[in-house]
Structure 1
Amino acid sequence: MPLTFNNALDVDVEATVENTPVSEVHAHAKKMSVDFSLTECTLVRRERPGLLMVDFDAGGTTDPRNWARWYKRWVSGLSVIMISLAMSSSGALIPFSAALDSQYGIGVFVNELFVAQFTMSFCVGPLILAPLSEKYGRKPVLLVSWIAFTLLYIGAAVSTAATSVVACHIVAGLFISAPMTISPAVIADVWGFPSREEAMAIYALAIVAPPIGAASGGILLKLGVNQHSVFWIYTIIGALMTVLVAFTMRETYRPLILLKHARRLREETGDDRFKAPLEVPQIDLGLGARCLCNMLARPIRLFIHEPLLAIVSAYLAIIQMCSSIFVQGCTSAFGASTGIVSTLGASSATLIIGGIAVMFSYIFVVHRRFSVRHAEAFAPERVPPEVRLVLSKWAAPVFAVTFFWFGWTLFNTFSSVVPLVSGVVMGGAIFLLVFPVLNYIVEVYEGITASAMASVVVSMNLFPALFPLFSTRMFLVLTPHWALTVAGCIALLVTPFPTLLIRYGSMMRARSGYASRAHA
């Protein structure tokens, strides 16, 4: 028969289940001749009077952080692949501007708007999809997003009207933006510090390399592929990702897993005191997770009420803005002589080569000496999040210098290799700037990573979405030399930011609503 509690037995069972693995509760229930078939990898503890809070048992395989290492690497790798595909899809059609204009007669400016609107979708989608992943889970949102993206790109591939193509392309951007915020959340779900940093390093490289989309599109154009074939290629990719997410990815959102366990405990025991943190407003994430409307408003509320998140998002937006100016600077400086496709490939390649070189250096050399050492030094306490920002402090001035290096070596007296080498240095500097800061956000807002990352992603994509609308005119008026000098001055102004965040970050966390509770 189901387990029931009366006043006399209540005290006895509370004493047994408090801070005790369910396996022991199960054994105790058997002695009382009751049916108590529960998962053995759940810990039940009493955090509030009258409630029995469900948590993960140490070593239990229900906890995503205790999954097999090979599977965690697969889930992390799949997440990084998804973000790379999302970023590449945003720029793959840029080299096909002339073909789109020729077929649909949409004009140069409308064509630029066509590309910009897809990126603008990246500023809207995360605000909706990120909080939904914290209510319904990571897997369902990713699965629906890839299915919708695939169907919409089929529509774009078979459409003959410009309005249909534009509509399908833009709405697809809303759905494909899901991995941009959910992927780091998945990585945070399955990895703890310091193992998480290796996966986050690859994610950071993927999110700061949007020119790869234009470069891949340029390669397809040179191979004779038309714009409709680009839609079909991404349709096939979307279908493949749908299958992989559906059949190889398990749910990773830890609070939702606990919620399902709490419901099962209540069903099997008949005791309504079993609760998951998401079900208790006072122990909830502090932002109304139980109400769908409040859930959808979470990223905006975080951005407004969390000054730490707002400031960090603004800083990353400036870094992304300056990077966009660099890529356009390559196009303006070399496009006339080498061709737009070759220029996009060269600018992308220099950034990516520098980023990859520094990423591997960090994973195989710096990480083991830096992060692991700090984890051991602060054990058993958590490493302060500000420790992760030390590398950014040294990368910030290098990032600023590369703009002056590139801008003022474009003259005929220098080989074209000299300014392009600055792109390699910049790629490494961007990685060392963005990766520690993204890791900082994930650490500070660990319980609501997807919503916090939504604010960051929106900020980072806002300028790149609008930049194509005026970039050509900007470089015509200022010339590449002075446009890059302006970008360098902006980068120079924000150079002290990592140092200031290291010094005053703990103070800002103490004044931030959720951040202070997460690291109290």
Structure 2
Amino acid sequence: MSSSRRNSRVIAARRISPTFAIDLATGQPSVQAASRASPTHLAVTQTDTVDEDDVNVAFEHEAYGPGSGEKPVDPFEVTMGPNDPDNPKTWSKAYRWYVTMFAAVLVTNATFASSAPTGILPQLVERFGFGSEVARLTISLFLTGYCVGPLLWGPLSEQLGRKPIFIGSFFAYTCFQLGCALAPNTAALLIFRLLGGTFAAAPLANSGAVISDIWDADTRGTAVALFALAPFAGPTLGPTVSGFMAVAGVSWHWVFWVLTFFAGACLILVVLTLPETYVPMILVQRARRLRKETGDSRYWAPLERNKQSFSQRAKHIFGRPFVILFNEPMLIAITLYMSFVYGVMYLLFEAYPIVFTEGHGFNAGISGLMFLPIFVGCAIAVAVYLLYYNPRYIRLMKEFAPHPVPPEYRMELCMVAAPIYAISFFWFAWTSYPHISFWAPLMAGLPMGFAIESLFLTLSNYTIDAYIYVAASALSAQTVTRSVFGAGFPLFATQMYEKLNPRWATTLLGCIAAVMMPIPFILRAYGHKLRKRSKYAPTGDGPMKPPGIQEKKNQQIV
């Protein structure tokens, strides 16, 4: 294909929707890769909805082979058409929904394990003889593993495939849960928790990528919005389960045995039922099969020739995300906001027992139930997004066509959620007196959960829309930063609540949330100007308001 023809196809594709392609070998935007793409070949469009902790936006460089009407450059290059039965997007809807729900279960497994020891911390203190600060490390170290894991498992899945990474990581994760159950001393317990969190991060990094592999752009938004509940279901269920186990007199060992059985069951299901969904790896498997069946070694798949050296990959994985982060004030603001929200969620695992166990006299099991309104609030946020905001966004796509919808329109739900998030802290703070009914602070979790889910959905989508060419690196930087906050916040939560008391400690959090509240409003009003000054955020040539009818007619004529 000539260079002019190739470039014209790229321009046409960008006018239809803000899509792009990435060369797997370099990690940079590839004109050639984009030119060979079609709407069924591209991984992300404006209609996508993504989760914080679990999205892989690496693109399938030439994964499907030549575009319509083109011939392969090499007849021995193994390709895949959009209607190929091996193409994950052609599998039955029922099977794809099973894979989606199972991917959500894998994330729930990992996040459930992060908070599960909350209910048995007193037993751990008694058994191992360490202080409460060390006991809280069982949660913080697990989250520290989240800082490292996503940087490893995402890129490795692009070289080895999704399924091998799930199998290897869940096998190790299961073994480390077993190690925690049999830990003979403090050092062993803490090391196993750290390593367990590192390997548990695999579904956080790759489950979202699996959904991107199997759904087209029209349906992916709904699938991922539902999937987005998983990261918040696990942490809220962990204290409930372990709390009731502690009340029932069950040994602390059994909390880790439950985690072992849960992880082991997921491992078995991964081996038996989870298919390989990464198209470049499916083509590698097809090429190997053809070489074996025909005896002709000339068959090859693109991924087999797109290998990076260790130093190149290490530089791209560990350096590039933070180079982008530190050079983008807009991204820094978004990342700090999301990290604060994430860190406070884990801080509440220390604050809730002070309010409900010490203040209202509930046992560990009932105190664990106090987290459930947060999850219900998250579910309400997803429902509102799917039933109201997503249809509005689809209408905007039609109004802005042929231009993409500016990322700033993502801020609508965020502008509602930000004030609600700040208000929920003041609600919880000044109803946390022991003489006030527990229902008052309990129900504060409902708007808090709604705000948490809404903020994550909208800010993650804004990041992808604004930093479309470097979205993978931007999201990686966000994942690591918020994991640091999640690991660090529980370490000072108890001291803060004991010294300031629940009223003033939570008020302090509410004040910080109020200080950050203007961020989505600023992005909505001035985000397009900030993007014009950005080195990494493409500004595009689209309008900030929907074109008028006459303008659309003129565009159609042109």
Structures share a fold, TM > 0.5?
Answer: yes
Secondary structure of the structure 2 residue equivalent to 1:201: helix
2:226 corresponding residue in structure 1? 202
Using the alignment, how far apart are the partners of 2:174 and 2:411 within structure 1? Answer: 39
**Root mean square deviation of aligned Cα:** 3.9
Report the equivalent of 1:215.
Answer: 240
Q: Over residues 54-101 of structure 1, what are the superposed CA-to-partner deviations in whole Å (9 max), with x where a residue is unaligned?
A: 875333333323322122211111111111110110111122122222
Distance 2:199 2:403 in 1: 39
1:422 pairs, out of 437, 444, 453, with 444
Aligned amino acid, residue 322 of structure 2: F
Q: How far is 1:225 from its partner? A: 2.5
- The question of whether the paired residues in 1 share the 8 Å contact of 2:467 and 2:538 is answered with no
Name the structure 1 match of 2:104: 80
Q: 1:463 aligned to 480, 485, 491, which one?
A: 485
What residue is the counterpart of 1:290 in the other structure? 308
Shift in alpha-carbon separation, 1:396–1:143, aligned structure 2, 3 A: same
Q: Paired residue for 2:364, among 325, 336, 341?
A: 341
Q: Is the 8 A contact 2:339 2:486 kept in 1?
A: no
Q: Could you list the per-position Cα deviations for residues 378-428 of structure 1 after superposition, in whole angstroms to 9, with x for gaps in the alignment?
A: 556655444333211211111111111221233467433222222111111
- Counterpart of 1:88, as a letter, is F
Q: Give 1:432's match in structure 2, choosing from 454, 457, 460.
A: 454
Contact kept in structure 1, 2:470 and 2:536, CA below 8 Å: no
Q: What corresponds to 2:212 in structure 1?
A: 188
- Give the conservation status (yes or no) of the 8 Å contact 1:188–1:449: no
Letter in 1 for 2:489: F
Q: How does 1:304-343 map to 2 (within 5 A)?
A: 304-306=323-325, 307=328, 309-336=331-358, 337-339=360-362, 341-342=364-365
Q: In structure 2, how many angstroms separate the alpha carbons of the residues matched to 1:258 and 1:377?
A: 38
Counterparts in 2 of 1:274 and 1:112: CA distance versus 1, 3 Å: closer
Number of the residue aligned with 1:352: 375
| CA pair 82-453 structure 1, distance change in 2 beyond 3 A | farther
Distance 1:177 1:497, change over 3 A: same
> Compared with structure 1, are the counterparts of its residues 387 and 378 closer, same or farther at alpha carbon in structure 2 (3 Å cutoff)?
same
* CA contact 2:407–2:466 (8 Å) conserved in 1: yes
For residue 239 of structure 1, what is the aligned residue in structure 2? 264
Give the deviation of 1:179 after TM superposition. 1.0
The Cα offsets for residues 297-345 of structure 1, whole Å up to 9 and x where unpaired, read as 4343123225365543322102223334455443322221323624642
* Structure whose CA Rg is larger: 1
Find the aligned partners of 2:534 and 2:299 in 1 and give their Cα distance. Answer: 31
Q: Does 1:64 align with 2:82?
A: no
Q: 2:276 aligns with which of 235, 239, 251?
A: 251
Deviations 1:244-290 (A, max 9, x none): 1122122223444456678889998999998748956xxxxxxxx72
Rounded Cα–Cα distance in structure 2 between residues aligned with 1:19 and 1:309: 31
Looking at structure 2, the residues matched to 312 and 139 of structure 1 have their Cα atoms a distance apart, in angstroms, of: 32
Mapped contact 1:351–1:424 kept (Cα < 8 A): yes
Provide the residue aligned with 2:178 in structure 1: 154
AA aligned opposite 1:304? V
2:141 to 117, 121, 124: 117
Q: Deviations over 1:440-479 (max 9, x none)?
A: 4456677887665443332222222122222111112212
Counterpart selection for 2:129 from 101, 105, 121: 105
Does the CA contact (< 8 Å) of 1:444 and 1:518 recur in 2?
A: no
Partners in 2 of 1:172 and 1:358 — Cα distance?
A: 30
User: Which TM-score applies when normalising by structure 2?
Assistant: 0.74
Mapped to 2, the partners of 1:503 and 1:458 lie a distance apart of 28
Please report the TM-score for the alignment, with normalisation by the length of structure 1: 0.79
Say if 1:400 and 1:491, in contact at 8 Å, map to a contact too: yes
Gaps of 5+ in 2: 1-34, 39-62, 543-558
Q: Cα 1:20–1:128, aligned 2, differ >3 Å: closer, same or farther?
A: closer
**How do residues 31-50 of structure 1 correspond to structure 2 at under 5 angstroms?**
42-45=64-67
Amino acid at match of 2:501: T
* Cα distance per residue 1:196-224 (max 9 Å; x no partner): 22222233322245233222211222333
Quick one: distance in 1 between partners of 2:160 and 2:394?
Answer: 34
Q: 2:445 & 2:216 partners in 1: Cα distance?
A: 33
What is the rounded CA distance, in whole Å, between the counterparts of 1:297 and 1:424 in structure 2? Answer: 42
Q: For each residue in 1:106-160, what CA deviation from the matched residue of structure 2 results, as whole angstroms up to 9, or x when unmatched?
A: 3322222233212211222222222212222221111111011112222333343
Q: 1:453 to 1:136 in 2, by over 3 A?
A: farther
Counterpart contact for 1:265–1:274, Cα < 8 Å: no
Separation (CA, whole Å) in 2 of partners of 1:387 and 1:278: 40
* 273 and 157 in structure 1: CA distance in 2 versus 1, 3 angstrom threshold: closer
Percent identity of equivalent pairs: 30
Name the count of aligned residue pairs: 475
Q: Kindly indicate whether the alpha-carbon contact (under 8 Å) linking 1:262 and 1:276 is maintained by their aligned counterparts in 2.
A: no
Distance (Å, rounded) in 2 between the aligned partners of 1:509 and 1:272? 46
